Structure 1
Amino acid sequence: MGYPTLLLVLLGALAIADANPVDNSVDTRIAPEDRVMVCYYGTWAVYRPGKGKFDVEDIDVNICTHIVYGFACLRNGEIASYDPWNDLYDNWGKGAYLRFTALKEQNPNLVALLAIGGWNEGSQRYSDMAKTKDGRTKFIASCVTFLQEYGFDGLDLDWEYPSQRGGAPEDKVNYGLLLEEMRPVFDEHGLLMTAATSPGKQVIDPAYDIESMAKNLDIMNLMAYDYHGAWDTFAHVNTPMYQHHLDVEEPDIWFNVDYTVQYYISLGFPASKIALGTASYGRCFTLQKSDDHDIHSPAPQAGAQGPYTREPGMLGYNEICEKMMQQQWTVVRDAETMVPYAFQDRQWCGYDDLDSLTIKINYAIQNNMMGAMIWSIETDDFQGLCHDETFPLIKHIRRTLLEGGTVPTPPTLAPTTTTTRDPSAPTDPPTTPTTTKPPQPTLPPTEVCHREGLNVDPQDCHSFYECHQVGDHWESYHFQCSAGTVFVEDMQMCDFEAAHPDLC
């Protein structure tokens, strides 16, 4: 694509603090062992073919702190089974509810929740239920009975979304009232209250009573994904960590994880109650031209469906990693969004992998968030066909929650003009203020990390590593410069390749 290249400039420590406020008070930091790993289970995976089929017993009970059954539905103002044949034992059914909650027998610390709602449910039934006190009381009572009957530990409210998609403007107030009235009843019966919430500002503002949510929810499962997909007319990653330079208009400027998290926090929702949502799937596109494959390249059609999920425009991570093992795909690690995408011919997919998830989870730790959430367990590489372990994404997230804590510097991007450098950009990176932390012994250099900060990729002048000394080892993250640029280590940025003919 022909677009102005953006410069990558390191931020100083003060600028990072402004962009990513972190609660550093010792007594309020969440201990690593208290961080949650919330795993949703899309129960329709039981109907998938071949290696994509996933049933209750395929869940590893030791990798998640909370497992969430998706979904129950709302009928006649009360909670009900969405798929009775799979959910219940009645009429020779499969009894998945009771089999799901029985998983707690294998791990007594495991928490089993039932989600109600989801995208396909829409909003109108929930709007009708919540608009009167009698309707809310009836619903809450039905939830208590239902959850106790099947052994669930609580309810995940996945109303998508108040005041949207068939809802009413007064839903925002009624949603808050529903939570207020549900809390004492659930407390009486020892039940948890969680909610799945939108990442989009255009939904958050009219939908959510943040004060009520902050007061009454045990966990907010922040769905920090589906920022982009085949509903767009251009290729873009599903879960951008930070804003891309071509995201210049509303709502695109809001569509990144960092903006979403900081917006919720600015509204008064405590980070310590947020489980940062991650995706074990990618959003995929069919490009207009095979040789135009950058972010924002024209993509008029959804990507081809996978063999298991069978949904155009979406591939499970298990499908993506299998494709990459069997076919020749080009993988690009975008330095701005800090998320990879891959393309082959006209097929293009943005997704998360181990490296990008490390960045997201360390960001959650830095911001003292409650932990992480993933949608969903059955599209991870649960058979371990691409990795040396099963459920590699979830296990990696859980390990990072227990051990992590560093996060790469988000890029500050300033557009160039006809010169090789934006005249308004500083000549050198801002100076990092002196800290009072005791100095660490300097580690010997490695092949990719010969100093703290950004290091050119020794194998590719168009990419670079960000390196951080963590204890007795280096942590590194690999990034790709934009098309037509190279990484200039002395400048600590990507710049026009033509201006540096000696680098490649």
Structure 2
Amino acid sequence: MYQLLVVAIALIAQTAYGQNCDSQNNGALCLTGQCCSNAGFCGTTAEYCLTSQRCQAQCINDGPPPPPQGPKPQSIDTSKLFKPPDNTFATKQLVGYFSNWAQYRGLDPSVPSCDKNQSFLPENINPFLYTHLNYAFVFMTNNNSIVPHEYDDLDLSMHFNKWVKGLNPSITTSFSVGGWTMNDGPSKFTGNIDYSTFFSQMASTSGSRSTFIQSCIKWARDLGFDGIDIDWEYVGDPTRGGTSADTENFTSLVKEMRDAARAEAASSGKNELLITVAAPADPDKFNLIQVGGLRLSVTRLTGIILMTYDFYGNWDPRMDSQAPIADTLQKGWSFTSAIDLYLNAGVPGSKINAGIPLYGRIWTIDDPSCTSPGCTGTAGISGRCTAESGFLAYFEIKEIIDALDSQNMLSTALNFASQDGYFLVFDDQWVGYDDENSFQAKVDIINNKGIRGGMLWAVDLDTADFSLTKKLLEYYQSCPKDGDWPATSANSEAEILCSSDSAFPQETQTRMCNEDLTWGVVDNSACNPVRPVSLAAQKCVEGQ
């Protein structure tokens, strides 16, 4: 057998290196006599042509490919991983997205400021900090099947699930198909292939939907995921490959996927796969979904994950927190308004996770004398490691904060705008982002509106010790909203006005949220008068 393979390979024409093929490249084939490797390149040697080496097309069959093994694990002392208190997720969930391109940080020689220690792999995730983790992103070809976007998505996915579930068996994982890049037209990140119409094309017929659904189910089961997350950006948007038929077709897709997942679970004996969608926070994009179709889809979805960030960025000259707490420069563009948009459309709060960013958007200031939110600027600097103009990961922002603090410059640079967010002004740069106070405000909103929880984009953008995520989880430990009493952090006192029928409605009453997240007794002594008592006679004073 081995000799026949050697002869067969020797007869293949000379290698043409660099030609791209198959799933990575819209199903393109190699020249006659060449094979398409697992990485999507054409060649003639064993690593290109043998099925045992995961050749994709025009292959020589020498047996099945080996099961994915994943990259070599890093050395992590799991005993030192932070674990939040047991009651942290008693009333709320937290979804974290892992971006599969974070593995490349520090490996690009054109970004010398970032070293290989900045590479982020599954072993860098602390799986105790989340209830759900989503692997982002894989793509779909024009034959409606799931394909890797990064060359090692198969291996990395298996490694991801092995790591997070091995440490935290209660965690739930999904893979996310789509994303901004897939829906954004041809670019260097897509090999100059235009994937933007693929979602619309897939959803347009029952046959193509069935192919996609079965491919999703197989991908999830083969790689150990518990669910499927659809990130179609955006349903019905004609500027991003969408059509007017998308809304109805999307509703059909969700229904048929739920039916197929239920049938697969019944036949396999496994738990039914979760089905979630990443949904727009922009009111204009929301209107494309159409409320009736959304309500119908929600009944079949496990949950809706709101992308409540990127309201502002350097595509707009106006500088602001990219994810304001409440409306600032534009009506309807905020964390609060986006949640209300879905609740008012009839989406149950129990199915909504609201996104919270672990990154900021940065501008170069136009006028040094105008640095308040609403002033103008152009695209700001690139991050030391993320290397994208106008974008800074939280760990990069924290490095700048620490540098300013070491030079006693932080007090004049750091600002927090109530109901908006943080902004940092340094040199000629202006960055809007989330930090402790805005996280607290957003958790309060999550609690008071009764939604399922939050979502972080992305887990690999926090500091190495997940300092901001840990702070978020401190706020997660709270007593739930109870009538007029707002959700309140553990060991904190809530305060509201006295009832309107009390003697002093302008005064306040208080109530303690206990450490075990139970409510204490209401102290409303300030709401009603206390009649003066004669201490000597132990009776009411005459006339009072």
Q: TM-score, normalised by structure 2?
A: 0.65
User: Which of these residues, 194, 204, 209, is aligned with residue 136 of structure 1?
Assistant: 209
Whole-Å separation in 2 of the counterparts to 1:101 and 1:218 = 20
How far 1:212 sits from its partner (Å)?
2.4
The match for 1:37 is 94
Alignment of 1:408-427 (within 5 A): none
Residue type of the alignment partner of 1:99:
H
Q: Which runs of 5+ in 2 are unaligned?
A: 1-86, 107-114, 184-195, 266-271, 487-495, 516-544
How far 1:472 sits from its partner (Å)?
7.2
Whole-Å separation in 2 of the counterparts to 1:77 and 1:131 = 11
How far 1:340 sits from its partner (Å)?
1.1
The match for 2:452 is 370
The match for 2:130 is 64
Whole-Å separation in 2 of the counterparts to 1:285 and 1:367 = 33
Residue type of the alignment partner of 1:318:
F
Contact kept in structure 1, 2:95 and 2:132, CA below 8 Å? yes
Q: Which has the higher contact order (CA 8 A, sep 6+)?
A: 1
Whole-Å separation in 2 of the counterparts to 1:399 and 1:332 = 22
The match for 1:175 is 250
Whole-Å separation in 2 of the counterparts to 1:326 and 1:32 = 35
How far 1:117 sits from its partner (Å)?
0.3
How far 1:257 sits from its partner (Å)?
1.1
Q: How many residues align?
A: 375
The match for 2:435 is 353
Alignment of 1:438-457 (within 5 A): none
Whole-Å separation in 1 of the counterparts to 2:203 and 2:255 = 12
Determine what percentage of the aligned residue pairs are the same residue: 27
How far 1:43 sits from its partner (Å)?
1.1
Residue type of the alignment partner of 1:267:
A
User: Which of these residues, 230, 245, 248, is aligned with residue 157 of structure 1?
Assistant: 230
Q: Name the larger-Rg structure.
A: 2
How far 1:470 sits from its partner (Å)?
4.5
Whole-Å separation in 2 of the counterparts to 1:65 and 1:58 = 17
Whole-Å separation in 1 of the counterparts to 2:133 and 2:452 = 15
Q: Which runs of 5+ in 1 are unaligned?
A: 1-29, 89-94, 384-389, 410-430, 440-450, 454-467, 474-504
The match for 2:302 is 218
How far 1:216 sits from its partner (Å)?
1.2
Whole-Å separation in 2 of the counterparts to 1:134 and 1:240 = 42
Compared with structure 1, are the counterparts of its residues 365 and 121 closer, same or farther at alpha carbon in structure 2 (3 Å cutoff)?
A: same
How far 1:331 sits from its partner (Å)?
1.1
Please list the CA deviations of residues 76-115 of structure 1 after superposition, one character each: whole Å capped at 9, or x if unmatched. Answer: 211111112x213xxxxxx101101112121110111100
Whole-Å separation in 1 of the counterparts to 2:124 and 2:278 = 24
Alignment of 1:266-305 (within 5 A): 266-299=344-377, 301-305=378-382
Whole-Å separation in 2 of the counterparts to 1:136 and 1:368 = 34
How far 1:436 sits from its partner (Å)?
9.9
Please list the CA deviations of residues 126-166 of structure 1 after superposition, one character each: whole Å capped at 9, or x if unmatched. Answer: 00000111111111011111111111101010000111111
Residue type of the alignment partner of 1:100:
F
Compared with structure 1, are the counterparts of its residues 435 and 278 closer, same or farther at alpha carbon in structure 2 (3 Å cutoff)?
A: farther
Whole-Å separation in 1 of the counterparts to 2:306 and 2:220 = 23
How far 1:222 sits from its partner (Å)?
0.7
Whole-Å separation in 1 of the counterparts to 2:181 and 2:103 = 18
Whole-Å separation in 1 of the counterparts to 2:225 and 2:500 = 48
Contact kept in structure 1, 2:440 and 2:472, CA below 8 Å? yes
How far 1:259 sits from its partner (Å)?
1.0
How far 1:350 sits from its partner (Å)?
0.6
The match for 1:101 is 161
How far 1:404 sits from its partner (Å)?
5.4
Q: For 1:33, what is the secondary structure of its paired residue?
A: coil
Q: For 1:120, what is the secondary structure of its paired residue?
A: coil
How far 1:125 sits from its partner (Å)?
0.4
Q: For 1:365, what is the secondary structure of its paired residue?
A: helix
How far 1:335 sits from its partner (Å)?
2.2
RMSD: 2.6
Compared with structure 1, are the counterparts of its residues 31 and 272 closer, same or farther at alpha carbon in structure 2 (3 Å cutoff)?
A: farther
